[in-house]
Structure 1
Amino acid sequence: MPRVSRKQADLNRETIVDAATRLFRERGLHGISVVDVMAAAGLTHGGFYGHFESREALAQEASGRAFEQAAQRWQARVADQESKDTARRAVVGTYLSSESRDNPGDSCPVVAFAGDMCHEAAESGLRQTYLQGLNNLLDSLGSLLDTEDEADKRQQALVQYSLMFGALMLSRATRGDPLSDEILEAARAALSASKLRFFT
């Protein structure tokens, strides 16, 4: 069997990571196998270990990519906004949309991987990737808040992101029931208030 060119090997590797990134967000970091990933990538199972030492190595790279994609989407949403507040509302509106709820493969990795992180060892690479990704998103949200006090900014970002996270998680858990849309609408309304403050 002829050897694959270096260019094709690189393309195959990217295809594998892209497929894993989507599947991990849909089913969780421990919910799929190497066979699942390779099938989604349209490649044979035997070729996996030519690209990755282990499933865990792929999971870490794919989770890192998921957080990179999330950060890029946030940046794209805020790029043309007229103010910090309209930018924040744009992020919230997309995050707490029915599209986000119904398409976990393209949605927030913080929500997608949270259950897995509850059982991950504190020193694991996966957990460190998760913490770094979450902190980056918190910093991005904080940069959209209208305060110069760093401690206040951090508190506001933590509370607002926690509400976003919880509402998205609950809306997925109740999808198909009117309560799901009700949760999204209530969270969007609370986070879109013109004088939003949870701390004084």
Structure 2
Amino acid sequence: METNNIVWHDASVKREERNKKNGHESFVLWFTGLSGSGKSTLANAVSRQLFEDNKQTYVLDGDNVRHGLNKDLGFSPESRTENIRRIGEVAKLFVDSGQIVSTAFISPYREDRQQVRDLLDKNEFIEIHVECSLSTCEQRDPKGLYKKARTGEIPAFTGISSPYEAPETPEIVVNTEEKSIEEAVHAIVEKLEAKGLV
């Protein structure tokens, strides 16, 4: 692809100006975990709490993004990597716009998550491991995907026939088997406050 004639244009309104006006830092809350662990539910609950606290927030959800921006991608390892690369670039734009963006993606590979982290500055990527055992996720099975994976209808399903690489040093860990959504939201917001981000 020819990129020699593409020039980055600086915005007239800087991120720092947006952050000052908003009264908070802008950053990514990267929720990662198995299907059924509660990523989307938790990301939306945190976003709701931050919104109620007058913070600028948005949620990028895995399924929603695959309906549009990434509808051309499948679930091969290469497609999963490209899916996360694109989301990382979009999330970076949201950070530049002064928002707190929550992303709810399985994002099974550590290397892919690290590449997104590398796009951002220090304290702009907060990895949240939504911890939940495979057996509990499979019992929950909110979309019926584990059942399909077990019967072979879904050939490359994370946790069953495709690997999930849990974060080794995430900024935040919440176990949705041990904590209610309300407790998990409180724990996350408390840590963000302690870091001086909100």
What TM-score, normalized by structure 1, do the two folds share?
A: 0.32
Hey, which of these two has a bigger chunk of helix by percent? 1
Hey, which of these two has a bigger chunk of strand by percent? 2
Name the structure, 1 or 2, with higher relative contact order (CA <8 Å, separation 6+).
2
* CA radius of gyration, larger in: 1
What TM-score, normalized by structure 2, do the two folds share?
A: 0.32
